[in-house]
Amino acid sequence: MSASRRNRNSWFSRQHDLLKTLVQHARSSVGSIGLLLVIATATFAWAWARWGSEVARHPRFSVSIEKIQTPPQPTWIQSNVIEEVVRDGNLENLSLLDHSTALKVDRAFALHRWVRRVERVDKQSSRRLIVQLLYRRPAIMVKADPDGFWPVDTEGYLLPPNEFSELQTREFLHVRGVTPQPAGGVGTPYGDERVNAAARIALALDEVWKDLELYAIEPRAANRAAVYSSAVTYELVTRKGTRIVWGNPPEKERQAEASAADKVQRLVEYAQRHGSLDGPSVIDLTDFRAMRITPRIAGSLPDNDSQRESRVPKSAQQSASQQR
């Protein structure tokens, strides 16, 4: 028994010595690797301090149109967004090696008239910038004074009128009876709450207004004092002049008023049953219980303004050039 115990102790002793030797080698290797890393880091830092600025300015690392990727432009945008952002923001002077470049590119895109929001900018190594953004989307054409139209997006921001042809103005609902001149320039809010409300109504009707042959949105106020207040309600007008009482804009409905989704559904169902919205002189969508119809008085004529304007629509290019 004693011999067996001695052999076992001897085996454990040899294993302990082997393990100790391995640990010592490992510590020595880690120390060597650590030392090499420190030397390499110091060497790189010295070299970058000496030549880094020259490397960063090399054309290979400069921001350019080809090195920026964005979502595909919608068909309604005529200008080249990336090209204009690079030019107007002087982005070609930036280096992809600079840590602040992504932030500067983010800010430059956010200032463009067609950009609604920049969600993020990512750098792929030192060769490409990926810009995730949302474009502005036109929703309505606001009647200008004395003629022409101001294009406005879904959030009430003014879009460049010179990028819309005369034919394109027919592709959007027209808004009449509001401030005929915007408060600011392109890419800023139009400056009239009634225009914002009309844009929200147009967005609610986005998928159905053409099939329903709608043409215009008009605000209606009980009196002059209520023109710029929440007391304003809205009406829709078909191309043949039938008037539809829409009521308040989406998410601003009264307690007993139908929701925007219910109003749209009622219009679609009525048009499917009767072939169109034309026939009655007034359709009232406001009551949450049901749609109200007011028959046309014998001999009365529908509103013809929509027909006259639809025949000869004009863009606001002349008005925009005069404003500038």
Query: Which pLDDT belongs to residue 179?
Result: 86
Burial class, 266, CB count within 10 angstroms (exposed 0-12 / middle 13-18 / buried 19+)? middle
Whether the CB-CB separation of 211 and 225 falls below 8 Å is answered with: no
Q: What is the mean pLDDT of residues 223-242?
A: 76
Q: Are residues 197 and 312 in the same domain?
A: yes
**Greater model confidence, 272 or 312:** 272
Q: Which of 123, 269, 141 is nearest to 208 (CA)?
A: 269
Q: Are residues 38 and 186 in the same domain?
A: no
Q: Give the domain-ending residue among 102, 135, 168.
A: 135
Q: How many structural domains comprise the chain?
A: 3
Query: Which pLDDT belongs to residue 266?
Result: 94
Query: Which pLDDT belongs to residue 48?
Result: 45
Measured distance between the N- and C-terminal CA atoms of the chain, rounded to whole angstroms:
108
pLDDT band at 233 (very low <50, low <70, confident <90, very high): very high
**Region label for 127, one of left (φ > 0), alpha (ψ between -120 and 50) or beta (otherwise):** alpha
What percent of the chain shows pLDDT beyond 90? 50
pLDDT in tens, 178-226: 988 899 999 999 999 999 999 999 999 999 999 999 999 999 976 555 5
pLDDT in tens, 19-53: 555 455 555 555 555 555 655 565 545 444 544 44
Domain containing 85: what range? 60-135
Quick one: three-class SS letters along 82-118? HHHHHHHCCHHHCECCCCCHHHHHHHHHHCCCCEEEE
Q: Are residues 217 and 271 in the same domain?
A: yes
Q: Are residues 185 and 285 in the same domain?
A: yes
Q: Are residues 47 and 83 in the same domain?
A: no
Q: Are residues 149 and 254 in the same domain?
A: yes
What is residue 235's three-state secondary structure? strand
State how beta strands 128-135 and 68-69 pair. Answer: parallel
Q: Are residues 94 and 224 in the same domain?
A: no
Instruction: Say how many CA atoms lie within 13 Å of 92 toward its Cβ.
Output: 10
Q: Are residues 235 and 186 in the same domain?
A: yes
Q: Are residues 276 and 155 in the same domain?
A: yes
Q: Are residues 149 and 121 in the same domain?
A: no
pLDDT band at 297 (very low <50, low <70, confident <90, very high): low
pLDDT in tens, 74-130: 999 999 999 999 999 999 888 888 888 899 999 999 999 999 999 999 988 767 899
Q: Are residues 185 and 280 in the same domain?
A: yes
Q: Are residues 66 and 157 in the same domain?
A: no
**pTM (2 d.p.):** 0.72
